[in-house]
Amino acid sequence: MGEGEDGLTRTSRDLQPDQAPRALLRPGRSRSIRRSVAIILFLTALTSLPALATLVRQMSLEEIAGASSDVVRGRVESTRSFWEGKQIWTEVTLTVGRAYKGKAAGRVTFLQLGGQVSTPVPLEMTVAGAPVHRIGDEGFYFLEPGSPGRRIIVGLFRGHVPLRRDAGGEFIQFDGRRLQPHQFEDEIRRALAAQERGPAPVN
């Protein structure tokens, strides 16, 4: 999916942990039987999964900042994928290097739909267009409230701006522009200052 398009790719079935077949967990069965059961589950999933549509609107930096409860620069410290209902979610914990908005300090955690689990069988669910978070990744994160007590990224991927490195040094890419981190920080501060001022009065 590009920006504004939809789609969901799942490589496996929406199983909950307590839905694992007894034969898969029963001791004394041969590996070939367990492997066969897992393959059957996987092939069945390919023909039975419903599609989940996503629609992401192009947002300006001002809109992203305005929708955010927390804006931070951070590094991925850990990730953890888990079942919740019939969906797989990934919890991402950041070490906060700098906070521009909100009260995040030290560490902040957010959730993202999709991820990879190992039980009851190895399964992966991915959402087209959603960022992949790996330990050690750095970037700018625009977070908003999700379900009570939880944060999510604004606009699925618009609120995640990864920090990149090449021979020219550190940089980010935003709306087709290459910016140094301090330049992007300045733009964030201007967007937040404009938000605080509010709309200009109409004469």
With beta carbons less than 8 A apart as the criterion, state whether 163 and 181 touch: yes
pLDDT recorded at residue 195: 83
Between CA 53 and CA 16 the distance in angstroms is 21
Between CA 180 and CA 177 the distance in angstroms is 10
pLDDT at 203 over 70: no
The whole-chain average pLDDT of the chain stands at: 78
**Residues in the chain, overall count:** 203
pLDDT at 152 over 80: yes
pLDDT recorded at residue 2: 43
pLDDT recorded at residue 39: 42
With beta carbons less than 8 A apart as the criterion, state whether 7 and 49 touch: no
pLDDT at 24 over 70: no
20 DSSP assignment: S
Q: Which residues contact 20 (CB under 8 A, 6 or more apart)?
A: 119, 120, 121
Q: Identify the residue with better confidence: 182 or 33.
A: 182
Phi, psi (degrees; rounded to nearest 5) at 163 = -85, 130
pLDDT recorded at residue 202: 64
